[in-house]
Chains A and B, each alone.
Chain A
Amino acid sequence: MPAVATLPPSGLAGLNPEWSSLAEVAESENAAVTHGWHVLDNGPQLDALGVIPVGTILCVHGNPTWSYLWRGLLASATDAAASGAPAWRVIAIDQLDMGFSERTAGFRPLARRVRDLGDLTDALDLAGPVVTLGHDWGGVVSLGWAVDHPELLAGVMLLNTAVHQPVNDAIPAPLRLALGRGILGPATVATPAFLATTLALAHPPLSSEVKRGYRAPYLTSARRGGIGGFVADIPVALAHESRPELDRIAEAVRSLAVPTLLLWGPRDPIFSDRYLDDLVERMPHARVHRFEGAGHLLAEDADYAAAALLWLGDAVAPALVSSSRSRNGDLGTLDQRMGASPSPLTAVSGLLAGDAVAPAPLVETVSATRAAWEAAATHPLWHYLDELRGSDETALVDMLPTPRTVSWRLLSRRVRQIGAGLVHIGVRPGDRVSLLVPPSADLTAVLYACVRIGAIVVVADAGLGLAGLTRAVRGARPDFVIGAAPGLMAARALGWPGRKISVAGFPAPMARLLSVEHTLAELISLGQARLSAGDDLPPEPAPSDPAAVLFTSGSTGPAKGVVYTHGQLSAVSNALFLQYGVGVGTGLVAGFAPFALLGPALGARSVTPDMDVTAPKTLTASAVAAAVAAIDATVVFLSPAALVNVVATAAALTSDDHAALAGVQRFLSAGAPISESLLAQAAALMPQATAHTPYGMTEGLLMADITLEGIRAAAGSAARPQTADAAVHEDGSVLLANPVGGVCVGASTQTTLIRISALDASGASVGELSEQPDVTGEIVVSAPHVKDHYDRLWLTERASRRGAVPGERWHRTGDVGHLDSAGRLWVEGRLPHVLVTADGVVTPVGPEQRIETLPEVSRAAFVGVGPIGTQQRVAVIETVPPARRVHRASEPLAAAVRAMVGSPVAAVLVVPGLPTDIRHNSKIDRSRLSRWATGILSGGRWVKP
């Protein structure tokens, strides 16, 4: 039923009536036929502000939404322009038959919709530069417009969409339902069910006002005809009318060279991550950010507008401004504005590998790769596997289930065989292989095989918890999964992607159940056959090729994928060699991933002690002694959690065990802070050994190091009062009330640079990177072995490099601390955990350390309650013996805690256990505690944190 275009009713939440206008547009193919369009446009507002837009963002909604979807961008872009940032005109259209545009009489397949949009932009006389922005099927239409208007196109932005639907792939279930013959009419047109279903996909749920906004143009079935037409136009079959146009667009986007941004909500039952993979494959230069927790209605779930404007400022605006400058010299004010926005990152961004991982070119010559390694002054990870391929010396010992010794000769051969086997079954350079194998000889062989053939290993550990692991593996989108039984069962149960390979043989029914295509034994024989036939392994990857994706512990928010290149992983090995002398001939007890996996890369023989890696607290002192004895280990790596249990079980050590441990020269506890007393107790078990605790994070594994002696010396120096109370530096940064305390993590390692970005009065780390002592700020690091980038987290990546010196690779750690005059780094907590009180900024670790000196306190967390700037200090403690329930500290204990802190503490709360991360059981989630304490102290429910 045809109906003319109208203006939206007034009073829709977030929609400024000034944006709406109507346009009557003739069809290019038949000028006699015209259609009425409803369009949102902030152009008149920009005119009123007197600013010249740098370009236009052309926004195309999908089905069953309308231009209302983009109201946030219209508002943000206008606000940004008003505040002096580069001005973007935003035009958001209602597609014909949708929103408040005309209800035409006909059916509008994809090709026609693309032409419709072109007709509209012609009629609007839209001049370049234009950046397209599309969501859902609007993404396809916007890309259709983009490939047809290269002369105007300056960039492409997409939110959850797809340009390709493989005919043989199952189409998503919700859509299949909607497409069902009897369902199509009823569900999409006759009732508002399809619309309601779509609106219900928001996380968190939409407010009733916003839902009302989305429903406004679709109140009657007559007005919903376009929704049904759109669904019918999904080209699920080859013979579909719109298939050729979809294929044309899908192929043409491959040649788009303009900057591209893909913003994605992973919780989308329709446009799942596989469509993101497809888009990245077509546009490998795209920047990608996955908003973990967000879904199909990304525009409602996440601040896409801020991300879009940030990206436009980085990637598109500078080019436009310089080109417009060359066209027109009279852009003084605009230049000043651009100059005023500090973005040294622009200079660095060219150096960054994209979030998309481009496959390494196969044609690369071996000599070029060699030269690249030589230039980097490091070895590839498989260097010693080649060099020691004829050696019968021990490379690995597996203590579980019974001690198994693997020589260099065998390990080298296995790695080549598995590598060739993987190539045989179709693993290509750049493919991602998820390793769900516990630390073992198998894991080591598979890992080195993967990296040797240029596959990217995805190392997600059980320490993330099952939910975290699922998010991580899904997000890392492995092409292959190599796993032991538990990993494969989880993969099956939770629907993790990738072709499955088992390290163990299974009975056929089990293998079928777990979708296992191959076993490790098969790979070895397939690979052996291939090598025997004279097929060598593919060319070695170059230092700049991606090698691995590791995951952060997820102690604050979802675990993040961290991408390392081959060069960067080799640099990690090199740092271990330089710092601890781990090299050829060293015996290494590898009780801590990922250092543990680097033994073969260093030429060291390594042993994995008998332990349940998912529960490091189960490692016993006897197991460590047995591992040491097995390879005459001189270096021992343990996690802090494991160390606790090792100390606790020391009574069971025999005299032989003690003798073995006496041979250890060095031991390291890495991954989380560790107390001096625990380190000293562990050191007592290894009397000849120097105890080290390195400081680092998943993004930079070995940034600083300190010995037990160093810790003691630092404790002595920290006892001296440093300065008076909070004072403001000349440069405006705030010097905190002393003693600020903190954990001394020592001096930077040989190849690492450490700087501090001072906190301002609001607790934000805004200072220039500096080495000035005794200034508290965010710890910023640089080293050859710092991560390459976060995986598909463009915004996070950008934030982690904020303020970086152009041309240098810096990483913002999110830790706060200070350097002392001796160049030692002191960690004072996490940036989001900083308290901002009326007296100034307070970092948590110092007060926690002082509280923990009380005999009745085993562990303390110091958190802020209330608004930033006037937060109250609250201490949350675990007691000795542990409390059975949450309660307020007794008056004497509260008084003792207050006396220790020195500044006013509003409340002291006792809990049975502080919330920590799963991986280390030591990183306290102070943000969560702060929210919890806020509830308790406002008179709320008395629950556990």
Chain B
Amino acid sequence: MTGASGFLGRAVAARISAAGHEVRTFQRRPSGVPGVEDVHGSITTAADTPYAGLAYAVSGMDAVVHLAAKVSLTGDPAEFEAVNVGGTRTVLQVSQRAGVSRFVYISSPSVAHAGASIMGSDALPASPEHARGDYARTKARGELLVLAADAPGFSVVAVRPHLVWGPGDTQLIDRIVDRARHGRLPLLGHGAALIDTTYVDNAASAIHAALDAAPAVHGQSYVITNGEPRPVVELLAGICGAAGVTAPGWRVPAFAARAAGSVIEAIWRHRAGTDEPPMTRFLAEQLSTAHWFDQRRTRADLAWTPSVSLDEGFERLAAHYRVPR
């Protein structure tokens, strides 16, 4: 598994390891998952160091879960390209050479998203031309790359979890909580857009299920969610409530946020520093238009259903933050 030191990666590695599989991880930092063998390295520098670490990590394995990616709202386009396209190509080639028979690529619903509301549609083909932003565009290209490599004896499945969250998540939850705590979390529009999310345990179990089902469902893409869309403001309130901070109380019209996001994004490009801009056009769209998916094919094909409901997820989050309920 690549990228096992991240929030989702740790959960997936732990789950697959707990199921009795031998797991080897590959990333720059220790994964921190007990019982797995960490191999350190980078999927972008791997090419310069004759694949040594990566080739070893993959050798003798039956399956590869490729999770490593550059996930960010802004950044150097070349870096997105290098990690999400180049790195994916490298992992794919090394896996093929090592005789791996299953390859699960962790993708994102944004690879097929052109900015309009998504209300109950199933996974559409990845479309780099229409994807918004460097992350989505490069993930889309990565997905097309791996699916094209699907072949007899090499079963490729693309899994697209949507907005993964849970205790210990620094990407989404901590940012929301941090902004809310400092009163910097506005509500976009009326906050009624229905958004479906994925509790981290459900994302992990779905990826595990995709690994199991790969020989039967190879060549396909699946969106993964809890299947419980809620108005975005309720989700934010649920997260903030669990973290013991005040939910957003002020409102910015969605169109204004989108416009502002575009401007801020442009400024951030020419600005030194590594911090994230407060708002991007992509994020504004994400938070003001509906994003929920038809989960029937996913659940039937992967023989999987989410085991942790949204409300149970909020409870676990509250426990994590030690907020009495």
Contacts and interface: CB of A to CB of B under 8 A. Distances in A.
Given A866-B292, A872-B229, A934-B119, A939 B189 contact: yes
B119 A942 contact: no
A936 B194 CA distance: 9
Given A888-B231, A891-B234, A936 B121 contact: no
A894 interface: yes
B231 A871 contact: no
Interface string A351-370: 00000000000000000000
Interface string B155-181: 000000000000000000000000000
Interface string B216-230: 000000000001111
Contacts of B294: 838, 867, 869-870
A866 B120 contact: yes
B192 interface: yes
Contacts of A939: 117, 189, 192-193, 254, 288-290
A936 B292 contact: no
A838 B300 CA distance: 11
Given A867-B119, A871-B120, A934-B119, A942 B192 contact: yes
Interface in B273-293: 288-290, 292
A906 B228 contact: yes
Contacts of A571: none
A838 B290 CA distance: 18
B233 to A, nearest CB: 7
A904 interface: yes
Interface string B239-260: 0000000000000001000000
A907 B119 contact: no
Interface string B6-25: 00000000000000000000
A563 B3 CA distance: 72
Given A838-B296, A894-B234, A906-B229, A937 B192 contact: yes
Contacts of B229: 872, 906
A328 interface: no
A906 B229 CA distance: 6
A255 interface: no
Contacts of A938: 117, 119, 193-194, 289-290
B192 A865 contact: no
Contact of A937 (B227, B228, B231, B296): B231
B269 interface: no
A872 B292 contact: yes
Given A872-B120, A888-B231, A891-B237, A906 B194 contact: yes
Interface residues of B, number: 27
Interface in A883-931: 888, 891, 894, 904, 906-907, 909
B123 to A, nearest CB: 13
A866 B296 contact: no
B295 interface: yes
A909 B234 CA distance: 12
B230 A866 contact: no
B233 A888 contact: yes
A906 B120 contact: no
A888 B119 CA distance: 19
B97 interface: no
Given A872-B120, A937-B231, A938-B290, A907 B296 contact: no
Interface size class of A (residues with CB under 8 A): 20 to 34
Interface string A658-680: 00000000000000000000000
B193 A867 contact: no
Candidate in A888, A934, A937 with the most chain B CB atoms within 10 angstroms:
A937
Contacts of A871: 120
Given A870-B295, A939-B192, A865 B227 contact: no
A906 B228 CA distance: 7
Interface in B178-218: 189-194
Q: Most B CB atoms within 10 A — which of A870, A934, A936? A: A870
Nearest to B228: A904
A742 B225 CA distance: 32
Contacts of A891: 234, 237
B193 A937 contact: yes
Nearest to B117: A938
A704 B231 CA distance: 42
Nearest to A907: B231
A865 B193 CA distance: 12
Contact of B190 (A867, A872, A942): A942
Contact of A936 (B192, B237, B299): B192
A937 B230 CA distance: 9
A870 B117 contact: no
Nearest to A886: B190
Interface string B123-144: 0000000000000000000000
Contacts of A904: 227-228
A938 B190 CA distance: 11
Contacts of A865: 119, 194
Which of A866, A872, A939 has most chain B Cβ within 10 Å?
A: A939
A889 to B, nearest CB: 10
Interface string A841-877: 0000000000000000000000001110111100000
Contacts of B228: 904, 906
Contacts of A942: 190, 192
A934 to B, nearest CB: 7
A797 B119 CA distance: 35
Contacts of A909: 192
A862 to B, nearest CB: 16
Given A906-B229, A938-B290, A939-B254, A867 B234 contact: no
Interface string B72-90: 0000000000000000000
A867 B290 contact: no
A836 to B, nearest CB: 11
A824 to B, nearest CB: 35
Nearest to A871: B120
A904 B306 CA distance: 13
Contacts of A870: 120, 294-296
Contact of B119 (A838, A866, A869): A866
Nearest to A939: B193
Contacts of B234: 888, 891, 894, 907
Contacts of B120: 866-867, 870-872
B260 to A, nearest CB: 17
A582 B119 CA distance: 54
A533 to B, nearest CB: 74
A162 B231 CA distance: 55
A906 B193 CA distance: 10
A692 B191 CA distance: 46
A763 to B, nearest CB: 15
A31 B231 CA distance: 76
A907 B230 contact: yes
Nearest to B238: A891
A320 B292 CA distance: 52
Contacts of A937: 119, 192-194, 231, 290
A869 B194 contact: no
B84 to A, nearest CB: 28
B324 to A, nearest CB: 17
B193 A869 contact: no
21 contacts: A838-B296, A865-B119, A867-B119, A869-B294, A870-B295, A870-B296, A872-B194, A888-B190, A888-B191, A888-B233, A894-B234, A904-B227, A906-B228, A906-B292, A907-B194, A907-B234, A909-B192, A936-B192, A937-B193, A939-B193, A942-B192
Interface of A: 838, 865-867, 869-872, 888, 891, 894, 904, 906-907, 909, 934, 936-939, 942
Given A838-B299, A894-B234, A906-B229, 6 more contacts: A838-B296, A870-B296, A888-B231, A907-B192, A907-B234, A942-B190
Q: Which 8 pairs across A and B sit closest by C-beta, in order of nearness?
A: A866-B120, A939-B193, A938-B117, A938-B290, A870-B294, A939-B289, A867-B120, A870-B120
Interface of B: 117, 119-121, 189-194, 227-231, 233-234, 237, 254, 288-290, 292, 294-296, 299
